[in-house]
Amino acid sequence: DIQMTQSPSTLSASVGDRVTITCRASESISGWLAWYQQKPGKAPRLLIYKASTLESGVPSRFSGSGSGTEFTLSISSLQPDDFATYYCQQYNSYSQTFGQGTKLEIK
Amino acid sequence: EVQLVESGGGLVQPGGSLRVSCAASGFTFSTYWMHWVRQAPGKGLVWVSRINTDGSTTSYADSVKGRFTISRDNAKNTLYLQMNSLRAEDTAVYYCVLRGVTKLYWGQGTLVTVSS
């Protein structure tokens, strides 16, 4: 099974900061990588798919990059609504696995 | 518009059984693989099971193998997860997930609580 290692597990930042979250796959997943935002009691919200494609309706301050085994999610200027937990997910072929999550907290 | 609506969650005693369902619409259900993903309270997302288009091929996480059965009814556009021998650690929100051509679609989830 493909393992996903996400870092950091917790990130403290301020409104207006630029932040980056990293996800590493144990083997190449080409570009089959998605990023989600999740708030308590809610289903995950798709932000980015195919590593770098912004989901419709998602603000342009979110961006994704990477290929093969290394991927990043960046938020260019944090807004109050962005403080949440973020997950990466690989969906290469017929399998799916998730990163452990990154909790983005207000500093 | 793709819609996935889970149902059937609830409170069940340890050792009991429950079947959760996912009603699909807005796409040709019979042509896509489907998945179940779960999330225990305060924990991360975990893949549970997947099924191919005609139901002939299934796969499970080790934690549920032999206890859970995924199935589908393409005539009813519905995905199922039959859960037997339930344990406290199966308590979670269960999501059905469509692996589309380039991206994934999720339902809102159904909560299964295993407790006496």
* DSSP secondary structure of B2-55: -EEEEE--EEE-TT--EEEEEEEESS-GGGS-EEEEEE-TTS-EEEEEEE-TTS
Q: What is the pLDDT of residues A19-57, one digit of tens each?
A: 999 999 999 998 999 999 999 999 999 999 999 999 999
Counting residues of chain A whose pLDDT is more than 90, the rounded percentage is 92
Q: What is the pLDDT of residues B15-59, one digit of tens each?
A: 999 999 999 999 999 999 999 999 999 999 999 999 999 999 999
Q: Does the beta-carbon distance from B33 to A89 stay under 8 Å?
A: no
| Encoded amino acid at A5, one letter | T
- What does the pLDDT read at residue A94? 76
Q: How far is CA B78 from the centre of its chain?
A: 11
List CB contacts (< 8 A) between B103 and chain A: 34, 46, 49-50, 53, 55
In three-state secondary structure terms, A12 is strand
Q: What letters, b where the CB count within 10 A reaches 16 and e where it falls short, cover B43-68?
A: eebbbbbbbeeeeeeebbbeebeeeb
Q: Does the beta-carbon distance from A89 to B107 stay under 8 Å?
A: no
Residues B42, B60: Cα–Cα separation, whole Å? 22
Q: Tell me which chain A residue has its CA closest to the CA of residue B34.
A: A94
Which residue in this structure is represented by tokens 């930042």? A13
Residues A19, A12: Cα–Cα separation, whole Å? 9
Tokens of B33: 């693989």
List CB contacts (< 8 A) between A96 and chain B: 35, 37, 47, 50, 97, 99
- Taking any CB pair shorter than 8 Å as contact, residues of chain B touching chain A are 33, 35, 37, 44-47, 50, 52, 59, 95, 97, 99, 102-109
